[in-house]
Amino acid sequence: MGVEFSMVLPRRSYTVSLVRQVLAEALRVNGVCGDCRFSILLTVSEACTNAVEHGAPAVEYEVTAEVDDESCLVEIADSGSAFTPERVSLPDAESESGRGILLMRYLADEVRFLPAQFGGTTVRLRKWLHNGDSHEGVGCGAGARIPAMLG
């Protein structure tokens, strides 16, 4: 079974939780495990938060998602100012923000920052959902390692 959806949302903070709710239900319907679900929801929340906080002058952003038996693919696109992730420095230990890209890269199996079709940025996130031993580092379980990474 697969689920696809697309949402165009205002650049308002409340929309991040709305995206989480819709995506959480799509993941639940597809039987995605708890750790994997946590990783996906946190990763997508970080990308949506970045679109809300840094997507100016755009007034809205778009989220598209495809969840099937193999993977969860989510794209978050805004038409704000172009973004170059290589120019973002790593946060220091005392920083209260700035960990979003680091978390995305750690928790997702694919993270790409692409120029959006009409300006701005599209963040493409993919998490593989299978748990085979031959796919080390892919699938569920990354969520348990977050405290060590942030500590």
CATH assignment at residue 131: 3.30.565.10
How far apart, in whole angstroms, are the C-alpha atoms of residue 106 and residue 104? 5
- One-letter amino acid identity for 48? C
How far apart, in whole angstroms, are the C-alpha atoms of residue 2 and residue 29? 9
Within the chain, where are the H helices? Answer: 14-29, 34-54, 100-107, 146-150
- Predicted local confidence at residue 88, as pLDDT: 60
What angle do helix axes 14-29 and 34-54 make, rounded to 10 degrees? 150
Range of the domain at 62: 3-150
Q: How many domains does the chain have?
A: 1
- Predicted local confidence at residue 134, as pLDDT: 36
How far apart, in whole angstroms, are the C-alpha atoms of residue 11 and residue 57? 10
Question: CB count, 10 Å around CB of 39?
Answer: 27
- Predicted local confidence at residue 80, as pLDDT: 85
Residue 114 is classified by DSSP as E
How far apart, in whole angstroms, are the C-alpha atoms of residue 25 and residue 22? 5
- Encode the chain (151 residues) as per-residue pLDDT tens digits: 789 999 999 999 999 999 999 999 999 999 998 899 999 999 999 999 999 998 888 899 999 999 999 999 999 999 887 776 666 656 565 655 557 888 898 999 999 999 877 788 999 999 999 644 433 433 454 444 444 444 4
How far apart, in whole angstroms, are the C-alpha atoms of residue 120 and residue 76? 11
Residue 99 is classified by DSSP as -
